[in-house]
Structure 1
Amino acid sequence: MADTNFDLIVVGGGPGGYVAAIRSAQLGLKTAVVEREHLGGICLNWGCIPTKALLRSSEVYQIIKHAGDFGFKVDGVSIDFAKIIERSRKVASQLSNGVRHLMKKNKIEVFDGHGALAGCGKLKVTKDGKPLAELTAKHIVLATGARARSLPGLEPDGKLIWTYKEAMVPKAIPKSLLVVGSGAIGIEFASFYRTLGSEVTVVEVLDRVLPVEDEEISAIAAKAFTKQGMKLKVGTTVTELKKGADNVTATLKDKTGKTETLTVDRVILAVGIVGNVENVGLEGSKVKVEKAHVVIDEYCRTAEPGVYAIGDLVGPPWLAHKAMHEGVICVEKIAGVKGVHPMQVTNIPGCTYCTPQVASVGLTEAAAKAKGHEVKVGRFPFIGNGKAIALGEPEGLVKTVFDAKTGELLGAHMVGAEVTELIQGYTVAKTLETTEAELMQTVFPHPTLSEMMHESVLAAYGRTLHI
């Protein structure tokens, strides 16, 4: 019989949950994780990691198609789509097994089942609807994640109308595809399938794609997507999806009220996510739920004593790294670690792994102005960077936004090759409350893409050197 009494139990083994459990164990707390499906959660198994494996395959294909630009002749290239999917699933499986190893390494008890609150300090675990165990702990952290949102009349069926799960493991590349929603998930799938040859149409209800990004960055990305052959329909809603034998006819309505129909092989719904708040015992507790997300304070505490919540369950930004950091903050506060600081949302970077990549941290130019800041804005294009030209990646932009009075870095926004790797530099700068002075005095290595980060800062103050 496994022990059933713990200091801390985490419900959900996704990025937030397993990191919270590891930090708890590091701090000497007797810890357990309850996971009903796969350790690593959606991120490792059906989200962040396998999608990046798919996108890497599409990037390699794109490079091969342009091999002539680099001095190579490549003939007869074909796509083994089953192998692309197989590689993606292997990557996901490897990392999920790695999380199980981390649980064992940190002496964390794992219960493979469904967890639900069962009264003060109690958690009932079931497996296939049958009782498995009743656990007790002074602290219970809910990290049950979220699932794809569906809209009335636009429900997925897993065959013709997909969520991210079906979009990751199809048997064949659809000849035509409609992507509903142009956030990170929608645009990444649109980019993947377009590169592999699908005719892709993206519909976005707001007035631009990637609407959470800086407007200037969104415009550059949209231009690149259009050049690749994507059809972008912004300010447009999908009012109906009519399923045929092996296709779907969508009715689209623009902001003027004009309608049109579009018939495609498959549809991907990427219209957001909702928290998994059902069947976890919240009804008999003081935990508050608003808009399908659990309400917490700055240290992830719910209104129920001894119950905490982290990650996608508590709302945006829906990012694995945000969930991980919340898990650490939550557990360190529980353990009484000194100097624990609440999450600073403006210091959380966002990344979209389409082609070209998009990354950002902090306030957009418009948001900074709306908050009353007088701003200085710097821009530096990829075409002015030697490494970008050498890589054959001359399209893109690095943009920085500073407070004109204090020199505070308010935001940084990028579009172009490898910007999802570069953004951490600005994230570190924001976390350290760096001003333009320190960034200007920092020596960036040459030749690198990172030099554009330096040049963008210089440009904000009229001191750019290479353009």
Structure 2
Amino acid sequence: MSEIEKYDLIIIGGGIAGYSAALKASQALSVAVIEAKKIGGTCLNVGCIPTKAYRQLIMEYKNGNSFFKNDTRLFTREKLADVFEEKINCSVSGLHDGLMQALKKNSIDVYQGKAILADDKMVVVKNDSGEEKRLEYQFLLIATGAKPVVPSVFANEYSNVFTTDKAFVKSNLIPKSIVIVGGGIIGVEFASFLADFGATTIIIEREDHILKKSFSVEVSQTVTKILRKKGVKIYTDCEVVGIEEEDDETIVRIQKRTSPIRSDTEEILTDKVLLSIGREPDLDNQLIQGLSVNVRDGAIVIDEYLKTSNPKVYAAGDVCGGIQLAYTAEYQGEMAALNVMSSVMGEGKIHNGKVGMVPSCIYMNPEIASVGVKETDPDKCFAAKYSLKGNGMAIIENSDDGYVKLIFDQHSGELVGAELVCSHAVEMISLCKEWIEMRKTANDISNSIFPHPSLTEAFKEAAILYLKEVGTGEIPS
């Protein structure tokens, strides 16, 4: 029998929630991380990082920049796939190596393999070779993340159909044509990238408009217009009812959800099919049941302090359902770690892990970002929308098709929401979030100093629009 290693905290799952918790807890506790696949989880290995690296590569290819040496004609489709794969892997591996060094520097032990519950204070890690290691814990944190949702119509394996977890396999990188099933944030991002690259791109969305769960109707309409301008075809209120592969091509059969005739379908011929319908908590049912942890709607139930129904077990990140974003998972992981530290050290201080206001972002061209109130009630709020046609930096960057919309409370003049459609929107939205939390008013924003020329000057102009229309505060001359 192997020697038993003892830890204050064992974390099952080495994604962003797990490793963030480990780094925080290691300040005072002995910590181990168990990861079945690869440290870094979805975000680092198959999600955020490779997706944005992919976007950057397509932009550089399109503009003839960097290693493309201003002559994209030299690159065959196969050569491009090689280059893209190499560059994406380079970005991922560099960050992965840095993360592993950080874990080692903080004396965090990493175990590769599957976590199996032995009893109420011990887990066994079993690796691919069948070797086992016994670990004893005082507290457990479950941070196993989420996995792609795969509809039953795609239950069989198809060579040209893949989820976002497989999007960066070489054979999927450079499609001639693609059908994207799902018009949420990830589906829209991929549609934008691939359309910019020249692929014939189609989105199939079962709702009546894209981005329905994440953004306002106006943002949806704006993004729809942008995508169609790029050549993307969008089918709404439709679902895939059949799929068939013939040689190197795939036939996708779709149908209007409201169609009374089941045979009333349309066929789409495509090179590849990307499933981007969403993600669901990745639960190890045997482990969860053994720990007597409550589950609701497929997600681990936690209280506001990230504690489960088992007082020795915490959970954080996508495995808990709710908002599935890397930065919310990171926050929850750190708060859970602080609460475990408090329990182990007997401090009695607990930290609320409830996720507050979170920005929503789309990394496309132009970028889209929003925070706070999305749809406005005219009796309560006023939306001041400033077109970037009058912004110097937007004109210089040739990106003046977008806008900045600030939403103010009608009575107090406080900022309560923002929508940005412009380059650098993802960076700019954090400023809006801070203003909302600090209860800044239109008057405060209009009297602020912004660099010139800059896109942030649009904030001042939007605030002035509000003051002119509503007639409160002092309007800068």
Q: TM-score, normalised by structure 2?
A: 0.89
Residue number in structure 2 paired with 1:155 = 155
5+ residue gaps, structure 1: 66-72
Residue number in structure 2 paired with 1:10 = 11
SS at match of 1:461: helix
**Aligned equivalents of 2:156 and 2:387: distance in 1?**
41
Q: CA deviation at 1:227?
A: 0.5
| Alignment map for 1:146-225 (pairs within 5 Å) | 146-155=146-155, 157=157, 159-171=159-171, 173-211=174-212, 212-225=214-227
Residue number in structure 2 paired with 1:145 = 145
SS at match of 1:303: coil
Residue number in structure 2 paired with 1:94 = 94
Q: CA deviation at 1:198?
A: 0.9
Residue number in structure 2 paired with 1:85 = 85
Instruction: Decide whether aligned partners of structure 1 residues 2 and 364 sit closer, same or farther in structure 2, where only a CA change above 3 A counts.
Output: farther
| Alignment map for 1:64-143 (pairs within 5 Å) | 64=64, 77-79=73-75, 80-128=80-128, 130-143=130-143
**Aligned equivalents of 1:447 and 1:339: distance in 2?**
45
Q: CA deviation at 1:223?
A: 0.6
Residue identity in the other structure for 1:56: Q
Match of 1:374 among 367, 373, 380: 380
SS at match of 1:23: helix
Identity score, percent = 31
Check conservation: 1:38, 1:96, Cα contact below 8 A.
Answer: no
Residue number in structure 1 paired with 2:314 = 308
The superposition leaves residues 141-198 of structure 1 with CA deviations (integer Å, 9 ceiling, x where unpaired) of: 1010111110111237362111113321233622211000011211122122212211
**Aligned equivalents of 2:339 and 2:438: distance in 1?**
21
Check conservation: 1:21, 1:33, Cα contact below 8 A.
Answer: yes
Matched, 1:352 2:401: no
Residue number in structure 2 paired with 1:340 = 351
Q: CA deviation at 1:381?
A: 1.8
Q: CA deviation at 1:419?
A: 0.8
Residue identity in the other structure for 1:103: L
Residue number in structure 1 paired with 2:279 = 273
Check conservation: 1:206, 1:235, Cα contact below 8 A.
Answer: yes
**Aligned equivalents of 2:228 and 2:332: distance in 1?**
37
Residue identity in the other structure for 1:365: E
SS at match of 1:343: coil
**Aligned equivalents of 2:20 and 2:379: distance in 1?**
36
**Aligned equivalents of 2:104 and 2:439: distance in 1?**
38
SS at match of 2:167: helix
Residue identity in the other structure for 2:140: I
**Aligned equivalents of 1:158 and 1:354: distance in 2?**
28
Residue number in structure 1 paired with 2:245 = 243
Instruction: Decide whether aligned partners of structure 1 residues 458 and 8 sit closer, same or farther in structure 2, where only a CA change above 3 A counts.
Output: farther
- Alignment coverage as a number of residue pairs: 453
| 405-414 or 3-12: bigger deviation | 405-414
The superposition leaves residues 277-320 of structure 1 with CA deviations (integer Å, 9 ceiling, x where unpaired) of: 12561112321122221111111111111111111111131110
The superposition leaves residues 205-226 of structure 1 with CA deviations (integer Å, 9 ceiling, x where unpaired) of: 1111222211111211111110
Instruction: Decide whether aligned partners of structure 1 residues 388 and 51 sit closer, same or farther in structure 2, where only a CA change above 3 A counts.
Output: same
**Aligned equivalents of 2:355 and 2:447: distance in 1?**
26
Match of 1:229 among 207, 228, 231: 231
**Aligned equivalents of 1:35 and 1:122: distance in 2?**
16
Residue number in structure 2 paired with 1:69 = none
Q: TM-score, normalised by structure 1?
A: 0.91
Matched, 1:386 2:392: yes
Instruction: Decide whether aligned partners of structure 1 residues 453 and 132 sit closer, same or farther in structure 2, where only a CA change above 3 A counts.
Output: farther
**Aligned equivalents of 2:360 and 2:444: distance in 1?**
23
Instruction: Decide whether aligned partners of structure 1 residues 49 and 262 sit closer, same or farther in structure 2, where only a CA change above 3 A counts.
Output: same
**Aligned equivalents of 2:274 and 2:55: distance in 1?**
16
Residue identity in the other structure for 1:351: C
SS at match of 1:302: coil
5+ residue gaps, structure 2: none
Check conservation: 2:4, 2:133, Cα contact below 8 A.
Answer: no
Check conservation: 1:115, 1:280, Cα contact below 8 A.
Answer: no
Check conservation: 1:10, 1:17, Cα contact below 8 A.
Answer: yes
Instruction: Decide whether aligned partners of structure 1 residues 459 and 333 sit closer, same or farther in structure 2, where only a CA change above 3 A counts.
Output: farther
Residue identity in the other structure for 2:359: P
Q: CA deviation at 1:442?
A: 2.7
Q: CA deviation at 1:353?
A: 0.9
Residue number in structure 1 paired with 2:265 = 259
| 325-334 or 268-277: bigger deviation | 325-334
Instruction: Decide whether aligned partners of structure 1 residues 74 and 87 sit closer, same or farther in structure 2, where only a CA change above 3 A counts.
Output: closer
Residue number in structure 2 paired with 1:320 = 326
| Alignment map for 1:288-307 (pairs within 5 Å) | 288-307=294-313
Alignment RMSD (CA, Å): 2.4
**Aligned equivalents of 1:437 and 1:120: distance in 2?**
58
